[in-house]
Amino acid sequence: MPAVASLEDLKKVEEQLRTIKENHPQGYADLVELFRQNRKIGYKNICKLMMGEATPEKLKGTE
């Protein structure tokens, strides 16, 4: 399924990821592994947890 984002936006993010990987290779590798191990949780939920926008309880609707 094609991405909704424009090709320009996707290339911009790709470059940002490349820069982070170059500057912080171990941290980048750790995050890649975290995403791989938790695909079923979903990137959107993982990002909300990372940015402090939600808690596990909020995501489950128990809070």
C-alpha distance from residue 58 to each of 21, 48, 52 (Å): 31, 10, 11
User: Mean pLDDT across the stretch 17-42?
Assistant: 98
Phi, psi (degrees; rounded to nearest 5) at 45: -70, -40
Give residue 12's domain range: 7-60
Determine, yes or no, domain membership for 1.
no
Domain count, the chain: 1
Determine, yes or no, domain membership for 48.
yes
Query: pTM of the predicted model, to two decimals?
Result: 0.81
Determine, yes or no, domain membership for 35.
yes
pLDDT at 4: 94
Determine, yes or no, domain membership for 30.
yes
Determine, yes or no, domain membership for 50.
yes
Determine, yes or no, domain membership for 44.
yes
Determine, yes or no, domain membership for 2.
no
pLDDT at 63: 76
